[in-house]
A and B are shown apart, each in its own frame.
Chain A
Amino acid sequence: MNRRPGFLVYGLLGAFVLGSALPLYWSFLVGSHTKEVMTRQTPPLLPGGHFLENARRVFETVPFWKALGNSLLVSSVTATSVVFFCTLAGFAFAKLRFRGSTPLLLFVIVTMAVPTQLGVVPLFILMAKLGWTGSVWAAAIPWIVTAFGVFFMRQFLVDAVPDELIEAARVDGCSQIRVFWTVGVPAARPAAAILWLFTFMQVWTDFFWPLIVLSNDNPTVQIALNQLQSGYYKDYSLLLAGTSLATVPLLILFVATGRQFVSGIMQGAVKG
């Protein structure tokens, strides 16, 4: 077998990871000093002791708790909805035979190329008509189902569920819904977890649509950041403390489920 890689490989990778981490460190660094730090000629190298104070000012300046709550709520509800509807449809496309399945699947694939955010104008008009603007649920609307989700689940389930298993279940007299429940759902779990995570990320980081449909007093995290950014005095300690705070929840999620992220991306590549 091959040798273990040498210093060069570790060195290069280490340099890349350092470069990846540096902006985050900078964000925390500035966020932990007073605002005068940005006007200094040479920035400090070590974090200062003002992070909590800056964080407190973030919470005073914008409704950050509410923003965190809204983001968590919208992202997790949307992710769950995507997983539910897309697993159902993905299973049908992967394992059931029905008229029109091929054109319908093609339709799904083609619409994956349609950028949903280009529909903002009608969605906004619709939300305004329904009186939903300003409500966090409006922020979820464009994401509650995604064509990608169906495609992703379908691709996974085609291989993950052996046809024999379905056949066997059916011979036993199982109804379709039981086949789905007893065979499809357990098999779909790993992919569903990945889809959940990715949808969560996508909704959490969305900026354009919430900017349009939400208001400053009931924001998501990204909109709260925008609000900090358009502040009157450009106070980078405040701003970057806010940015650090906004990143923490996803960082926690990432540390807890990093392996899923990694395998999800790598599977997506092979499947996609």
Chain B
Amino acid sequence: MTQDLSTPVGGAPTMGASPTGASPSAGMPTRRPPAPPWRQRLHHWDVTLSPYLYISPFFLLFLVVGMFPLVYTAYVSVYDWDLIGGQGEFVGLQNYRAVLDNPYFLKSLVNTISIFVLSSGPQVVLAVVIAGLLDTRLRASTLWRMSVLLPFVVAPAAVAIIFGSLYGDRYGLVNEALGWIGLSPVQWHVDRLSSHLAIATMVNWRWTGYNALILLAAMQAVPRDLYESAGLDGAGKVRQFLSITVPMIRPTVIFVIITSTIGGLQIFAEPRLFDTTPAQNGGSDRQFGTMTMLVYDFGWHLRDLGRASATAWLLFLVIIVIALLNFALTRRVRSLGGSR
């Protein structure tokens, strides 16, 4: 967040080719006069062409594995495209219509957003608190930092299996524990909100420590003298935390939310493995079916790659819209909270 991306990279304009120098595509110097000696021309080419040489492997590969699929998804989405039979007739926007008309589309969208909200909201609050606790002069601070990061090394599939074993509807440990304290069991795979909570727990468990460390970094950048003067004014630790630390790290909080948007909206492994049998697809009534699961469902269960692609594109649009909303929010918060 410290770099302004719109300025030319590299900073000082002292090096390399002169600004008026040859454009690499033209390859010929524009200023004719004294023809540069061979060595110098070689050096010139070295300077102008090398950057392209450095970035081109990345861009070439990225075009194949990053850009081509996105564009080609759009192509597939306007065709009848069977998983096994392959490309069929051009059908225009019919696949999009079929997806939008399918009641599961809206359901998956709502589920995805609900799980996302349930997982990022409490997670950020908890992460702020943990970061605040870590931002003290702890003994063995690195050990503590590593410890909170522990769940991050467990893959989502493993997380889903571990938590799945706890959230059985009838014979699970969580329900038994609820029974010990006199509560009635929860239908974790049936009740829509409960299933979202169960899945959000998995996400929160894995990511809270990670985000706490990001927030910790932001907290450590808060000038210490702010606290000292607050301390002189008699503000307690908690008070200082709420009135100084939290406002100061607000941009980072937004950053954390944005980065988790892209991943969070694509959630797949956790809900997929939360199903009680592989024949299901996010619960009997799609209580916890997500958008990415719908892509998988269309493509690999119903074997219709056309509709799968249309769903993927729609999900992409949703992500863009939400990311833009976030971006607008960030700018607002930035202008409100001063620069940092």
- Residues on A facing B (Cβ under 8 Å): 1-5, 9-10, 12-13, 16-17, 19-21, 23-24, 26-27, 30, 38-39, 41-43, 85-86, 88-89, 91-99, 101-102, 104-106, 109, 111, 113-126, 141-145, 147, 150, 154-155, 158, 163, 166-167, 170, 175-177, 180, 201, 204-205, 207-208, 211-212, 221-222, 225-226, 228-230, 236, 239-240, 243, 246-247, 250-251, 253-254, 258-259, 261-262, 265-272
Contact = CB atoms under 8 A, between A and B. Distances in A.
Nearest to A221: B155
Given A41-B176, A163-B15, A115 B319 contact: yes
B153 A96 contact: no
A155 B71 CA distance: 28
A272 B22 CA distance: 34
Given A141-B65, A145-B65, A39 B58 contact: no
A10 B137 CA distance: 11
Nearest to A140: B65
A20 B151 contact: yes
B288 interface: no
Q: Counting chain B CB atoms within 10 Å of each CB, which of A99, A147, A211 scores highest?
A: A99
A269 B292 contact: no
CB-based closest 4 A-B pairs: A119-B69, A176-B50, A122-B72, A205-B155
B15 A145 contact: no
A142 B67 CA distance: 11
Chain B interface size, as a band, is 35 or more
A147 B63 CA distance: 11
Nearest to A244: B158
Contacts of B252: 269
A121 B73 contact: yes
A100 to B, nearest CB: 9
Contact of A240 (B16, B48, B161): B161
A115 B266 CA distance: 8
Contacts of A208: 266, 268-269, 292, 296
B154 interface: yes
Interface secondary structure of B, over-half rule: helix
Contacts of B118: none
A176 to B, nearest CB: 4
Contact of B54 (A91, A114, A155, A166): A91
5 contacts: A23-B154, A92-B55, A254-B153, A262-B213, A269-B218
Given A109-B5, A116-B65, A225 B157 contact: yes
Contacts of A5: 133, 136-138
A199 to B, nearest CB: 14
Contact of A266 (B15, B165, B217): B217
Given A122-B69, A207-B157, A243-B162, A23 B151 contact: yes
A43 B173 contact: yes
Interface string B137-159: 11100101111111111111111
A95 B118 CA distance: 42
